[in-house]
Each structure stands twice: as structure tokens, then as C-alpha cells.
Amino acid sequence: MNKWNIPDLLENEIRNRDIYCIYCWIKFNTESKKNKMTWEHIINDETIITRENIALCCCSCNASKGAKSLSNRLNSEYCKNKNITAKNIAPVAQQALI
């Protein structure tokens, strides 16, 4: 288990699934802090550790979301400026909106 209590098998599955930010689709890299990969709880509840709720996103998208719900976040200026909509986020995040 990693320091966020994500079991190794789930962590590996998610790392293989989410090679780009689930919101803005930027490719992760370690050279830029804003493009750095971060763990995301799509539903803001750190006790929900499932493949449907845990994902990887860039540091910028994670910071912009904060404690907002996903639906509220999609209406934010950040998402409007980056053209992040319910239609173009990753399927794992789209499922959280249903």
C-alpha cells in the first residue's frame, strides 16, 4: 500500500490506465510541477479507494479542483479557460457524473 492507502494492485492498474491527466489530457512529466502526476479522489472522500474513484491528474487540475464536487468544478473559470467539459474528461470521471 502506498502512503495514500491505495493497494499496490490498484495503484498499478490506475498508473497503467491514467497516463495522461484525466481532466486536461496533458502528459505527465516530473520536470514541471504543474504537469506532475498527482492522485485524485474524483468524489472528494479519501475513504473511497476504488478504481472508479481514484485517478491520476496533473498538479494544476488537482489544485484547481480543491474540495469542489466534480460537477461544480466543471463550471469553474479554470475549466472554462482550459476547455475542460463533462464531454471531454476521461471516462472514469464521466462515470462519477452519472
Q: Is residue 1 part of a domain?
A: no
Q: In sequence order, what DSSP letters do the residues of the chain get, joined into one string?
A: --TT---HHHHHHHHHH-SB-TTT-PBP-SSSGGGSEEEEESSS-TT--STTTEEEEEHHHHHHHTT--HHHHTTSHHHHHHT--TTTS-HHHHHHT-
Per-residue pLDDT tens digits of the chain, which is 98 residues long: 787 789 999 999 999 999 999 999 999 987 777 789 999 999 999 899 999 999 999 999 999 988 889 999 999 999 999 999 999 999 999 999 97
Report angle CA 22, 79, 47 to the nearest 5 degrees. Answer: 50
Backbone angles phi, psi at 2, to 5 degrees: -85, -175
Threshold 0.75, pTM exceeds = yes
Total domain count, the chain: 1
Q: Is residue 3 part of a domain?
A: no
Tell me the residue range of the domain where 75 lies: 8-96
Q: Is residue 22 part of a domain?
A: yes
Q: Is residue 49 part of a domain?
A: yes
